[in-house]
Amino acid sequence: MTLIYLDGQWLDKASAKVSVFDHGLLYGDGVFEGMRVYGGRTFKLAEHVARLYDSAKAILLDVPISREEMIRVTDEGVKRAGLSEGYLRHVITRGVGDLGLDPRKCPRASIIIIFDTIAIWPAERYEQGLTLITAGTPINHREALSPRVKSLNYLNHIMAKVEATNAGADDAIMLDTAGHIAEATGMNLFLWKQGVLSTPPAYAGQLLGVTRDTVIALAGEAGYPVRETMLNRYDLYTADEAFLTGTAAEVAPIRMVDGRVIGAGKAGPVTRDLRARFLKLVRG
């Protein structure tokens, strides 16, 4: 069942409500995390909570409970919701204030945790691969708001997703202002070319994902060379394989980008291997 934790209360989907004066709604003033539940356990819970609190600290947002309490509440919610396989969304907003921008008018941050499920693509996409386009909408400039802050300001990602939807694609690749590949609309990107696995580095301007870090570690264990380097669309178009990673996406192969077929046009052997290793890890 869908369950919501809202500032100390356990509610259902119909009864969980936030104020129209919450600055998360009015200004996108807040941070969030997505987490995945496998076999009744939240994968990399401590790592996700650490990133949530780091994001909050970066925007001077004081989370009203400790990290340990956040972990305890999350574990309790998974049990209350009866989730064996599920998806969690943790949201910390600046809280209720007035119609002005001043965060001092928001005396206490608000905590929302949604316990639910998610499936962003049909199962066959993980065999056939995804069709992507390059979005005209770039990522935010990294000096305006650090991409390492997982903030509620996701409008540019939504507009890129709209571009993909209008083009009949599954998702979109987003570039930085210099034309380098940063990420998909909510996922990290990997390329396999001539025996090397490549992914954009931290300074490329994308959010560094927990799943991304997990796949890099799994690739190292499998003996695949991994490099973090700036990439452009030529690198993507000419890759032997390419895939996306993310909490909701897991490890998803790419079939085509901007009309160019990637590799064999379906999940390649390295992608299959890393996806199998990832699924074994999360369910082990």
- Residue 60, SS3? coil
- Residue 239 Cα distances to 77, 199, 255, angstroms: 42, 12, 11
Q: List, in sequence order, every residue forming a beta bridge with 243; answer none if it has no partner.
A: 190, 253
pLDDT at 284: 82
In Å, how far are 33, 120, 241, 283 from 276, measured between CA atoms? 24, 19, 16, 11
pLDDT given for residue 281 in this prediction:
97
> pLDDT value at position 141?
81
CB burial string 218-230: b at 16+ within 10 A, e below: bbeeeebebeeeb
Q: 133: domain range?
A: 125-283
153 and 271 part of one domain? yes
Q: Are residues 82 and 159 in the same domain?
A: no
Catalytic residue among 17, 44, 57, 150: 150
CA angle 162, 118, 114 (to 5 degrees): 100
Among 96, 116, 136, the domain boundary falls at 116
Give the CATH number of the domain where residue 197 resides.
3.20.10.10
Residue 258 backbone class (left: φ over 0; alpha: ψ -120 to 50; beta: rest): left
Q: Are 68 and 140 in a shared domain?
A: no
Same domain, 187 and 103: no
Same domain? 239 vs 104: no
Last residue of a domain, one of 73, 91, 116: 116
pLDDT in tens, 92-115: 999 999 999 999 999 999 999 999
Residue with tokens 């807040």: 30
Q: Which residues of the chain have pLDDT under 50?
A: none
Query: Number of structural domains, the chain?
Result: 2
pLDDT recorded at residue 52: 98
Q: Tell me the pTM.
A: 0.95
Alpha-carbon span 249 to 253, nearest angstrom: 10
For residues 107 and 194, state if they share a domain.
no
Q: How high is the pLDDT of residue 227? A: 97
* Rounded CA Rg of the chain: 19
Q: Residue 280's CB: how many other CB atoms inside 10 A?
A: 10
Q: At what angle do helices 269-283 and 210-222 cross, to 10 degrees?
A: 110
Task: Look at residues 116, 137, 156 and tell me which one is the last residue of a structural domain.
Answer: 116
CB 93 within 8 A of CB 23: yes
Question: For 111-164, what is each residue's pLDDT tens digit?
Answer: 999 999 999 999 999 999 999 999 999 998 877 888 889 999 999 999 999 999
Is 150 an annotated catalytic residue? yes
Domain harbouring 86, CATH code:
3.30.470.10
pLDDT given at position 146? 85
Asked whether residue 102 falls in the same domain as residue 148, the answer is no
Residues 150 and 26 in one domain: no
Q: Say if residue 91 is in the same domain as residue 173.
A: no
* 111 shares its domain with 15: yes
The tokens for 257 are: 């980008």
